[in-house]
Structure 1
Amino acid sequence: MTAIQMILTTYHGNCHCGRFRFELTAPEIAEAIICACKLCSKKGYLWLNTAASGTTYTVTRDDDKCLTEYDSAALKDRFCKYCGTGITGLHSAGPLWGQLLVNIRTLQEVNPFTLKCVMPLVSPAPPEDVSTTHRISDEAQHLSSCHCGKVQAELLVPITDLEVKEDNCSSCVRNAYIGVYPTKDQVKIHGREHTFEYLYGRKFNGTAHCKTCGVAVFSNVYGPPLSVFDSLPAERKERVMAVYRKNMALQPLNVRAIDGLDIELLQIKRTDEGTEGYVLPP
């Protein structure tokens, strides 16, 4: 097919909070590039190379210059400093060197769960790609960390003892978030002071991102205010409060941030409900 005959589609992309928006014109997106460098792995990036024939990338909104940059040895990463969504990347090594890459997960019209072909691209990071001082106790089974090492979480039980979930809601799909749900006494977190938190929707949950590299290591559960249960009949209130207390005891972690873990070997419960109800602010 010649360039003249090529059928192009206009896609609309944005960070979750909507401060950064863009349009992408490209052939129909049916596959994504996966890079094996540490930063791409921890952020779960699905890349589209804008150097592909017929592809154009145009920024349509950038409130408060909301994108911040983080340079690893392999990637110059740009993510929203308010909601943590990764938008673009430039690799400094490997076959994608110098090419502007766009995170497919940010596109409204694409469901990553339905991409038919994901092409692995092995682009090993240099040894200095991660400058992390691991702080791990004897009882820890897994260490979860951001890329720069300022934020870490120790999981004190084997991940195989816990349920692992992934969905494609508007927030999780942009963060590539895969959740595991230990209780607070099963987790030790270091570096909370180095995070910014993004709360969305009804603000019952918040995702904590490293201020420096943007990796989401853990989430926080806040739940609804207790006053919402006041009008419930006593028997129902007791049941609902039991669930509430159970949820409030959780300390969710992002599985992608766990070091040395082969995600492909996990049994992940995936829910394909999409982004229904997600509305961008004006």
Structure 2
Amino acid sequence: MSTSPSTSLQPKQLKGNCHCGRFRFLLPANLDLDNLITCACTLCSKLGCLWLRGVATGAFTVTRKEESLVEYQGLRFCGNCGTAVTGDYHSGALKGEVLVNVRAVWGFNPFEHDLGSITQIPAPADEVRSLPSLLPSSVEGETAPPVAHHGSCHCGKVRVELLVDIGTLEIKEDNCSSCVRNAYIGIYPTKSQVRIHGGDNTFEYLYGRKYNGAAHCRTCGVLVFNNVYGPPVSVFDRLPPERKEKVLATYWKNLAMRPLNVRALDDVDVGALKVQREDEGTEGYALVD
């Protein structure tokens, strides 16, 4: 049995969940989904959290598997799909508030909001982020290609080096059910243009047809890069030769990509980027009970 926003919303409640549905919750329907804030701390910035305020203590009702969450510095994310769902602060302006990531609420479309006008709370003075030193630019006497941009998860266990300037790449964002929850803004360099360090510290979330896998840090939950698999090449055998040749050219091009989450780049101002938005929506997304 599957549920959808039109059938699962109760008259006096809003429904929310991580993307895989292992963690689900209810909120009062009278909450103002425009009463949002962002936090300038590095963790919230990398996760792209949009915090919903005004949730009274006891009004956030967990309906499924709270134990599926991983906690990191007061933020909780699903250990299976990576969706950040709740957070709290032990100091600063947000201390004591119940904060829910509105991206996990059914029906929330970030494209319908002016995110640039949302109040931003300064990072807590005691923000903790300790990154290891950057890797040397040469390996075993061999000069490595210069690094244009460095990136990482929040805890530093997963790092990336982008060898081309981000200005040479398309930057895209859509509002599908997964990208909304991950606040994903993608760039699509080739594998040869990216170096990944600490990839074994990630968990991969695959869903739907499993043609793509999102790699999140196991410790802090940040989505750093994606793996592209695509369908088995044999599925194209039924195509006429002239059509097959064109389709396979695109197929191999896609398999050569190493998509990166722009939010994971440490030296890029996301707000200053020109992002191509694709209004796909969440049609077809359903949870299986």
Mapping 1:80-159, distance limit 5 Å: 80-116=78-114, 118-126=117-125, 129-138=128-137, 139-159=146-166
Q: Distance in 2 between matches of 1:279 and 1:172?
A: 15
Mapping 1:185-200, distance limit 5 Å: 185-200=192-207
Aligned to 1:66: 68
Tell me whether 1:280 sits opposite 2:262 in the alignment: no
Q: Percent identity?
A: 56
In structure 2, the CA distance between the partners of 1:77 and 1:205, relative to structure 1 (3 Å rule), is same
**Higher mean displacement: 89-98 or 145-154:** 89-98
Whichever residue aligns with residue 89 of structure 2, its letter is H
Quick one: which of 241, 251, 254 aligns to 1:247?
Answer: 254
The gaps in structure 1 that reach 5 residues or longer are: 1-7
Q: Indicate the SS of the match to 2:244.
A: helix
Q: Distance in 2 between matches of 1:263 and 1:269?
A: 13
Whichever residue aligns with residue 128 of structure 2, its letter is D
Report Cα offsets for 1:101-122 as digits up to 9, x if no partner.
Answer: 0000001121121125642223
Q: Distance in 2 between matches of 1:48 and 1:55?
A: 15
Report Cα offsets for 1:11-69 as digits up to 9, x if no partner.
Answer: 110000001101111433124211100100000000012446x9921111117x20010
Aligned to 1:226: 233
Q: Is the 8 A contact 1:146 1:257 kept in 2?
A: yes
Whichever residue aligns with residue 81 of structure 1, its letter is G
Tell me whether 1:30 sits opposite 2:34 in the alignment: yes
Task: Give, in angstroms, the shift of residue 100 of structure 1.
Answer: 1.5
Task: Give, in angstroms, the shift of residue 126 of structure 1.
Answer: 3.7
Q: Distance in 2 between matches of 1:27 and 1:49?
A: 9
Aligned to 1:12: 15
Q: Indicate the SS of the match to 1:212.
A: coil
Q: Is the 8 A contact 2:92 2:125 kept in 1?
A: no
In structure 2, the CA distance between the partners of 1:127 and 1:145, relative to structure 1 (3 Å rule), is farther
Aligned to 1:206: 213
Higher strand share: 1
Aligned to 1:5: none
Quick one: which of 21, 24, 30 aligns to 2:24?
Answer: 21
Q: Is the 8 A contact 1:208 1:220 kept in 2?
A: yes
Q: Is the 8 A contact 1:164 1:268 kept in 2?
A: yes
* Superposition RMSD in Å: 1.8
Report Cα offsets for 1:56-89 as digits up to 9, x if no partner.
Answer: 21111117x2001011xxxx01000000000100
Q: Is the 8 A contact 2:41 2:127 kept in 1?
A: no
Q: Distance in 2 between matches of 1:137 and 1:174?
A: 35
Q: Is the 8 A contact 1:50 1:102 kept in 2?
A: no
Q: Is the 8 A contact 1:31 1:115 kept in 2?
A: no
Q: How many residues align?
A: 269
Report Cα offsets for 1:237-279 as digits up to 9, x if no partner.
Answer: 0000000010000000000011031112111001122111101
Q: Is the 8 A contact 2:151 2:267 kept in 1?
A: no
Whichever residue aligns with residue 123 of structure 1, its letter is P
Q: Which runs of 4+ in 1 moved over 4 A?
A: none
Q: Indicate the SS of the match to 1:92.
A: coil
